[in-house]
A and B are shown apart, each in its own frame.
Chain A
Amino acid sequence: KAGVTQTPRYLIKTRGQQVTLSCSPISGHRSVSWYQQTPGQGLQFLFEYFSETQRNKGNFPGRFSGRQFSNSRSEMNVSTLELGDSALYLCASSLDLPGQGMNEQYFGPGTRLTVT
Protein backbone atom coordinates (compact mmCIF):
# COMPACT_ATOMS: atom_id res chain seq x y z
CA LYS A 1 0.00 0.00 0.00
CA ALA A 2 1.42 3.38 -0.96
CA GLY A 3 2.21 5.80 1.85
CA VAL A 4 1.16 9.40 2.28
CA THR A 5 2.33 11.48 -0.66
CA GLN A 6 2.85 15.20 -0.71
CA THR A 7 3.44 17.51 -3.64
CA PRO A 8 5.50 19.42 -4.36
CA ARG A 9 8.44 18.34 -2.21
CA TYR A 10 10.19 21.70 -2.47
CA LEU A 11 8.87 25.15 -3.14
CA ILE A 12 10.35 28.63 -3.22
CA LYS A 13 8.01 31.59 -3.04
CA THR A 14 8.29 35.33 -2.54
CA ARG A 15 6.78 37.31 0.31
CA GLY A 16 3.19 38.28 -0.41
CA GLN A 17 2.52 35.37 -2.75
CA GLN A 18 0.21 32.51 -1.97
CA VAL A 19 0.90 28.78 -2.12
CA THR A 20 -1.10 25.55 -2.26
CA LEU A 21 0.27 22.27 -0.99
CA SER A 22 -1.27 18.90 -1.74
CA CYS A 23 -1.55 15.70 0.26
CA SER A 24 -2.81 12.27 -0.79
CA PRO A 25 -3.50 10.02 2.21
CA ILE A 26 -3.00 6.30 2.43
CA SER A 27 -5.77 4.50 0.58
CA GLY A 28 -8.75 4.01 2.90
CA HIS A 29 -7.65 6.61 5.40
CA ARG A 30 -10.33 9.18 6.13
CA SER A 31 -8.64 11.72 8.36
CA VAL A 32 -5.92 14.12 7.22
CA SER A 33 -3.97 16.47 9.46
CA TRP A 34 -1.42 19.14 8.65
CA TYR A 35 1.57 20.22 10.73
CA GLN A 36 4.17 22.92 10.41
CA GLN A 37 7.73 22.14 11.47
CA THR A 38 10.27 24.89 12.10
CA PRO A 39 13.58 24.87 14.03
CA GLY A 40 12.26 27.41 16.51
CA GLN A 41 8.72 26.26 17.18
CA GLY A 42 9.07 22.56 16.43
CA LEU A 43 6.08 20.60 15.21
CA GLN A 44 2.80 22.47 15.45
CA PHE A 45 -0.67 21.29 14.51
CA LEU A 46 -2.37 23.32 11.80
CA PHE A 47 -5.70 21.58 11.16
CA GLU A 48 -7.45 18.26 10.75
CA TYR A 49 -10.00 17.24 8.16
CA PHE A 50 -12.46 14.39 8.16
CA SER A 51 -15.22 13.78 5.63
CA GLU A 52 -14.47 17.07 3.89
CA THR A 53 -15.00 19.00 7.13
CA GLN A 54 -12.46 20.73 9.31
CA ARG A 55 -12.64 18.96 12.63
CA ASN A 56 -9.90 20.75 14.52
CA LYS A 57 -7.78 23.81 14.05
CA GLY A 58 -4.53 24.88 15.64
CA ASN A 59 -3.47 28.35 16.65
CA PHE A 60 -2.52 29.78 13.27
CA PRO A 61 -3.72 32.96 11.52
CA GLY A 62 -6.50 32.89 8.97
CA ARG A 63 -3.92 33.07 6.17
CA PHE A 64 -3.61 29.32 6.65
CA SER A 65 -6.52 27.36 5.29
CA GLY A 66 -7.23 23.92 4.01
CA ARG A 67 -9.80 21.66 2.49
CA GLN A 68 -10.47 18.01 1.93
CA PHE A 69 -12.01 16.42 -1.11
CA SER A 70 -14.44 13.51 -1.36
CA ASN A 71 -11.56 11.11 -2.09
CA SER A 72 -9.89 12.25 1.19
CA ARG A 73 -7.12 14.10 -0.61
CA SER A 74 -6.35 17.40 1.04
CA GLU A 75 -4.85 20.74 0.18
CA MET A 76 -3.61 23.53 2.35
CA ASN A 77 -3.23 27.11 1.26
CA VAL A 78 -1.18 29.92 2.70
CA SER A 79 -1.98 33.40 1.47
CA THR A 80 0.15 36.55 1.72
CA LEU A 81 3.28 34.61 2.55
CA GLU A 82 5.65 35.90 5.21
CA LEU A 83 9.29 35.02 5.77
CA GLY A 84 8.26 33.21 8.95
CA ASP A 85 6.14 30.78 6.95
CA SER A 86 9.31 29.08 5.74
CA ALA A 87 8.99 25.58 7.14
CA LEU A 88 8.52 21.91 6.46
CA TYR A 89 4.80 21.23 6.09
CA LEU A 90 3.84 17.70 6.99
CA CYS A 91 0.63 15.91 6.19
CA ALA A 92 -0.54 12.87 8.12
CA SER A 93 -3.41 10.48 7.58
CA SER A 94 -5.20 8.03 9.83
CA LEU A 95 -7.83 5.38 9.36
CA ASP A 96 -10.44 6.86 11.72
CA LEU A 97 -13.15 4.22 11.51
CA PRO A 98 -16.34 4.82 13.52
CA GLY A 99 -16.24 3.33 16.98
CA GLN A 100 -12.65 2.16 16.61
CA GLY A 101 -11.12 4.69 18.95
CA MET A 102 -7.73 6.22 18.40
CA ASN A 103 -5.68 5.36 15.33
CA GLU A 104 -2.08 6.23 14.70
CA GLN A 105 -1.14 8.86 12.17
CA TYR A 106 1.13 8.16 9.23
CA PHE A 107 3.18 11.03 7.92
CA GLY A 108 4.22 12.02 4.44
CA PRO A 109 7.72 13.24 3.53
CA GLY A 110 6.66 16.87 3.74
CA THR A 111 6.85 19.93 1.53
CA ARG A 112 9.79 22.23 2.20
CA LEU A 113 8.57 25.80 1.67
CA THR A 114 11.09 28.61 1.48
CA VAL A 115 9.81 32.19 1.45
CA THR A 116 12.26 34.84 0.21
Chain B
Amino acid sequence: AQSVTQPDIHITVSEGASLELRCNYSYGATPYLFWYVQSPGQGLQLLLKYFSGDTLVQGIKGFEAEFKRSQSSFNLRKPSVHWSDAAEYFCAVGGLGGSQGNLIFGKGTKLSVKP
Protein backbone atom coordinates (compact mmCIF):
# COMPACT_ATOMS: atom_id res chain seq x y z
CA ALA B 1 0.00 0.00 0.00
CA GLN B 2 1.12 3.51 -0.69
CA SER B 3 2.36 5.47 2.30
CA VAL B 4 4.22 8.59 3.26
CA THR B 5 6.51 8.80 6.26
CA GLN B 6 7.69 11.95 7.96
CA PRO B 7 10.07 10.66 10.64
CA ASP B 8 10.26 13.88 12.64
CA ILE B 9 7.15 14.83 14.58
CA HIS B 10 8.59 18.07 15.94
CA ILE B 11 11.67 20.07 15.01
CA THR B 12 12.98 23.24 16.61
CA VAL B 13 15.48 25.45 14.80
CA SER B 14 16.91 28.87 15.52
CA GLU B 15 15.90 31.78 13.34
CA GLY B 16 18.42 32.14 10.53
CA ALA B 17 19.48 28.50 10.69
CA SER B 18 19.00 26.07 7.84
CA LEU B 19 16.16 23.57 7.77
CA GLU B 20 15.61 20.13 6.33
CA LEU B 21 12.36 18.23 6.77
CA ARG B 22 12.42 14.59 5.79
CA CYS B 23 9.85 12.71 3.73
CA ASN B 24 9.93 9.13 2.49
CA TYR B 25 7.28 7.52 0.36
CA SER B 26 6.26 4.06 -0.65
CA TYR B 27 4.80 3.90 -4.13
CA GLY B 28 5.26 1.55 -7.05
CA ALA B 29 5.56 4.07 -9.84
CA THR B 30 7.05 7.54 -10.10
CA PRO B 31 4.90 9.54 -7.74
CA TYR B 32 3.55 13.02 -7.83
CA LEU B 33 4.95 14.64 -4.70
CA PHE B 34 3.86 17.69 -2.76
CA TRP B 35 4.77 19.72 0.28
CA TYR B 36 2.03 21.68 2.05
CA VAL B 37 2.22 23.99 5.05
CA GLN B 38 -0.52 24.57 7.61
CA SER B 39 -0.62 27.41 10.11
CA PRO B 40 -2.77 26.94 13.23
CA GLY B 41 -6.47 26.99 12.44
CA GLN B 42 -5.84 27.29 8.72
CA GLY B 43 -6.10 25.14 5.63
CA LEU B 44 -3.16 23.79 3.68
CA GLN B 45 -1.01 25.95 1.44
CA LEU B 46 0.97 24.37 -1.37
CA LEU B 47 4.70 25.05 -1.04
CA LEU B 48 5.95 23.08 -4.03
CA LYS B 49 5.37 20.03 -6.16
CA TYR B 50 7.30 17.47 -8.17
CA PHE B 51 5.73 15.87 -11.21
CA SER B 52 8.70 15.09 -13.43
CA GLY B 53 11.92 16.53 -14.81
CA ASP B 54 14.46 18.39 -12.71
CA THR B 55 14.68 16.64 -9.35
CA LEU B 56 15.38 19.88 -7.47
CA VAL B 57 12.21 21.96 -7.33
CA GLN B 58 11.77 25.47 -6.08
CA GLY B 59 8.73 26.62 -4.22
CA ILE B 60 7.28 29.63 -2.52
CA LYS B 61 8.71 31.35 0.56
CA GLY B 62 12.26 30.29 -0.30
CA PHE B 63 11.65 26.55 0.07
CA GLU B 64 13.08 23.87 -2.18
CA ALA B 65 12.85 20.09 -2.27
CA GLU B 66 14.86 17.35 -3.89
CA PHE B 67 13.39 14.15 -5.28
CA LYS B 68 15.70 11.15 -4.86
CA ARG B 69 14.27 8.07 -6.48
CA SER B 70 16.97 5.77 -5.11
CA GLN B 71 16.10 6.77 -1.56
CA SER B 72 12.34 7.21 -2.12
CA SER B 73 12.70 10.61 -0.54
CA PHE B 74 11.48 14.13 -1.14
CA ASN B 75 13.07 16.28 1.55
CA LEU B 76 12.16 19.91 2.04
CA ARG B 77 14.88 22.49 2.65
CA LYS B 78 15.27 26.15 3.42
CA PRO B 79 18.66 27.86 3.83
CA SER B 80 17.58 30.39 6.43
CA VAL B 81 14.45 30.01 8.54
CA HIS B 82 12.30 32.96 9.52
CA TRP B 83 10.07 33.12 12.60
CA SER B 84 7.05 33.20 10.31
CA ASP B 85 7.95 29.70 9.05
CA ALA B 86 6.74 28.19 12.31
CA ALA B 87 3.89 25.90 11.24
CA GLU B 88 3.15 22.27 10.45
CA TYR B 89 4.48 20.80 7.24
CA PHE B 90 2.95 17.92 5.34
CA CYS B 91 4.43 15.79 2.61
CA ALA B 92 1.95 14.09 0.25
CA VAL B 93 1.78 11.66 -2.64
CA GLY B 94 -0.84 12.10 -5.31
CA GLY B 95 -2.07 10.92 -8.65
CA LEU B 96 -2.88 7.46 -7.39
CA GLY B 97 -4.95 5.47 -9.84
CA GLY B 98 -4.90 8.40 -12.24
CA SER B 99 -6.93 10.51 -9.86
CA GLN B 100 -6.43 14.21 -9.28
CA GLY B 101 -7.59 13.91 -5.72
CA ASN B 102 -6.83 11.21 -3.23
CA LEU B 103 -3.64 12.60 -1.77
CA ILE B 104 -1.92 10.45 0.82
CA PHE B 105 -0.36 12.58 3.51
CA GLY B 106 2.37 12.02 6.02
CA LYS B 107 1.62 12.68 9.68
CA GLY B 108 3.27 16.06 9.50
CA THR B 109 6.28 17.76 11.07
CA LYS B 110 5.68 20.66 13.41
CA LEU B 111 8.33 23.34 13.09
CA SER B 112 9.12 25.67 15.97
CA VAL B 113 11.50 28.61 15.48
CA LYS B 114 13.61 29.97 18.33
CA PRO B 115 14.41 33.68 18.27
| A45 and B103 form a contact (CB under 8 A) | yes
Q: Provide the residues of chain B in CB contact with A43, threshold 8 Å.
A: 90, 92, 103, 105, 108
Q: Provide the residues of chain A in CB contact with B45, threshold 8 Å.
A: 107
Q: Give, as a whole number of angstroms, the nearest-CB distance from B42 to chain A.
A: 6
Q: Is A55 an interface residue (CB 8 A)?
A: yes
Asked whether A107 and B49 contact (CB < 8 A) given A45-B102, A48-B100, A56-B97, the answer is no
Q: Provide the residues of chain B in CB contact with A22, threshold 8 Å.
A: none
Q: Which among B44, B106, B108 has the highest number of chain A CB atoms within 10 Å?
A: B44
Question: Chain B residue with minimal CB distance to A42?
Answer: B107
CA distance A61 to B115 in the complex (A): 45
Q: Provide the residues of chain B in CB contact with A104, threshold 8 Å.
A: 34, 46, 49
Q: Is B84 an interface residue (CB 8 A)?
A: no
Q: Is B28 an interface residue (CB 8 A)?
A: no
Question: Chain A residue with minimal CB distance to B106?
Answer: A42
| A102 and B108 form a contact (CB under 8 A) | no
Q: Is A72 an interface residue (CB 8 A)?
A: no
| A107 and B100 form a contact (CB under 8 A) | no
Question: Chain A residue with minimal CB distance to B42?
Answer: A109
* CB-CB contacts below 8 Å: B10-59 with A: 32, 34, 36, 41-46, 49, 51
**Residues on A facing B (Cβ under 8 Å):** 4, 31-33, 35, 42-45, 47-48, 50, 55-56, 58, 90, 92, 94, 96, 101-110, 112
